[in-house]
Structure 1
Amino acid sequence: MSSNGNLNNGSEAPATASLDSWGKYSDPQARPSQGLTSEAIRFFTPTYHQDTYDAINPRNFNLAGKSVLITGASKGIGRTTAIRFALAGCSSIAIAARTTTLLTSLTAEILSAANEAGHPPPNVLELTLDVSSPSSVESAAKTLSKEFGGKLDILIANAAASYDLSQPLAESDVDGWLNTLTVSLSGTYLCARYFLPLLLKSTLKTFIGLSSVGALNINATMSGYQVAKMGVTRLVEFIDQGYWRQGVIAVSIHPGGVDTELARTLPEEFHGFLVDTPQLAGDWMVWFCDQCKPENGAEERKGEWLAGRFVFVNWDVEELQQRKEEVLEKNLLKFRMAV
């Protein structure tokens, strides 16, 4: 992380990031060096996608025989992602939410998507899961282990929460602030804590933590949300550090500016940025998991070079791969202090 609050991406960001191409918003409460994310980060690849595209089309990949768990699956990005994995032929799909009311209809959509793409019907497991509760997460892990043969290939930690983001810290709602960290950050930790043992028994061993561009920003009224998302990004680095030798590939992602129920808790001036489709995020995750499949004779998996890093799903994947050597040489896309 550079001294102006931006992710180390190998290029100098402007001291004040106006982001004219994203919109005219600037936080009047922010110090000049702590505005929105710089265009240098947005244009880490020349192409910046806001919808899905052929290179990440889930119908181009084959995840037959693989299993995935998606938390926060009842709505928004999580719901769409479950359907996109079905289009890629994923054989076992666990959909988890605090309340399961909306999961039954999602199961039907998953089965329909698999059929549409010409795949056998996947084993769909509906899980009641409160990621803020250690006992709930532990119980869900035991249930999944039993249903999925003691292993899990892919964990997508999507569940998150937010609160009224209209007040600066000293006027913020204490319960809401703490709940944001409990669900978004502690929830990601608990999922890692109880599901990593199942990942370690699989072949893909892939962990995706949903962070946000908010992890890079400092906005006066958004401390809880932005601290939580930065924490998720850093937690993924810890997962990578602790388990890469055992084959785990962990990444954190900015899933785009998607118009979801949670995103609508952002201050109204941010709503104009909510123009990316959930299919973009879902398809990027399918693409990445396909990149993490072991290949016969290969010393490393294609997606291994992104392990421990923070990636925008908007970046074009082919252009991103062209920067692989630079990213590895300079250890880019990680939080660091510049001195």
Structure 2
Amino acid sequence: MPEGVALVTGASTGIGRHLVEGLAARGMAVAGLARNGDRLRTAMDEVAAATGRRALAVATDVTDRASVEEAVGVVREELGPIALLVNNAGLIDEFEVPVWEADPDQWWDVVSSHIRGAQLTIRTVLPWMVLRNSGRVVNIASGMGTRGVPDYSAYSVAKTGLMRLTESLVAALEGSDVRAFDVAPGVVDTPMTRSMRMWEGFTDWTPPERIVELIAAIAAGELDQWSGRMLRAGADDLDTLRAVTPEDAARQLRLRPYGDTDPLA
């Protein structure tokens, strides 16, 4: 079972809300960050009532450096050292249009919510993990980060960048017992997903419990050999992941050579 304190961004609704309750139910103290303070406090009060665990709400804009630094300070003071950081917060393209038709400010807000948000939390939380030589970071990835998506270009770019951030982080942490992972949650029935035209009529939802159990296994140190790589909730089998050690660039973003004579092969 995972132990210690989990910090989850975007915790007031959707996947983040499922994560804080699921991790608390497994014994972790949980801190939730989100911009909407009222909705966040309601969510965390519900988690505490349902699980009997400590659930702390800290209203935070993850794209604001001072806000993140203050929030992490509150979490450390109230709950103790952070053992698990889950970067879940992030926006989606407001309109399903090609990049040249997208509102440029909203487009960049989407990218910033995922990339700047994760970079700021990592910048604030990781030094303490490195000091303790213990900790796990999960960046919530997406299959849309592995390919170009014409109507969700900002989200696709953001998730691709997040995967690169994870890999860079792992390279910098080599030799330590601090690990980082990409977890793609599949298609979960959330308000955000329901708002996307591409999922109209979709019914084969990924159960939120599959995401929780995967991240709980990461927090417990059961999947360390997958650090720096993408795992997919609802598709990957936990027993298989525990038994497999990936090689080369498996589950990482790479160029595919056009043939044996490709100079970039």
Same fold, TM-score > 0.5, yes or no: yes
Does residue 67 of the first structure (1) align with residue 34 of the second (2)?
Answer: no
> 1:117-128 counterparts in 2 under 5 A?
121-128=52-59
Is contact 2:181–2:230 with CA below 8 Å preserved after alignment? yes
Summarize deviations over 1:8-61 as a string: whole Å, max 9, x none.
xxxxxxxxxxxxxxxxxxxxxxxxxxxxxxxxxxxxxxxxxxxxxxxxxxxxx3
Which whole-Å CA distance do the structure 1 matches of 2:186 and 2:203 have between them? 9
Is contact 1:159–1:187 with CA below 8 Å preserved after alignment? yes
Is contact 2:30–2:55 with CA below 8 Å preserved after alignment? yes
Which whole-Å CA distance do the structure 1 matches of 2:145 and 2:224 have between them? 23
Residues 244 and 112 of structure 1: CA distance in aligned 2, closer, same or farther (over 3 Å)? farther
Aligned to 1:110: 47
Which whole-Å CA distance do the structure 2 matches of 1:204 and 1:283 have between them? 20
TM-score, normalising length: structure 2: 0.89
> 1:77-226 counterparts in 2 under 5 A?
77-90=15-28, 92-114=29-51, 121-149=52-80, 151-202=81-132, 204-226=134-156
Which whole-Å CA distance do the structure 1 matches of 2:108 and 2:180 have between them? 26
1:132 is paired with a residue whose SS is coil
1:227 is paired with a residue whose SS is helix
Structure label with greater radius of gyration: 1
Is contact 2:93–2:152 with CA below 8 Å preserved after alignment? no
Aligned to 2:178: 248
Aligned to 1:270: 199
Summarize deviations over 1:63-113 as a string: whole Å, max 9, x none.
34x1110100000110111111111111x2111111121233323332233
Which whole-Å CA distance do the structure 1 matches of 2:238 and 2:124 have between them? 31
Aligned to 1:37: none
1:222 is paired with a residue whose SS is helix
Please report how far the alpha carbon of residue 124 of structure 1 lies from its aligned counterpart in structure 2 after TM superposition. Answer: 2.3
Q: How many residues matched?
A: 255
Summarize deviations over 1:198-243 as a string: whole Å, max 9, x none.
3224464100000111111212221111000011111000110111
Relative to its length, the structure with more helix (as a share) is 2
Please report how far the alpha carbon of residue 284 of structure 1 lies from its aligned counterpart in structure 2 after TM superposition. Answer: 1.6
TM-score, normalising length: structure 1: 0.71
Which whole-Å CA distance do the structure 1 matches of 2:44 and 2:158 have between them? 30
Unaligned runs of 5+ in 2: 258-265
Aligned to 2:188: 258
Runs of 4+ that moved beyond 3 A: 201-204
Is contact 1:181–1:224 with CA below 8 Å preserved after alignment? yes
Which whole-Å CA distance do the structure 2 matches of 1:265 and 1:224 have between them? 16
Aligned to 1:334: 252
Residues 260 and 202 of structure 1: CA distance in aligned 2, closer, same or farther (over 3 Å)? farther
1:320 to 233, 241, 245: 241
Aligned to 1:26: none
2:213 to 280, 283, 288: 283
Is contact 1:154–1:204 with CA below 8 Å preserved after alignment? no
Which whole-Å CA distance do the structure 2 matches of 1:134 and 1:224 have between them? 22
Asked which structure has the greater RCO (Cα within 8 Å, sep 6+), the reply is: 1
Counterpart residue type for residue 243 of structure 1 = L
Is contact 1:152–1:201 with CA below 8 Å preserved after alignment? no
Which whole-Å CA distance do the structure 2 matches of 1:222 and 1:275 have between them? 20
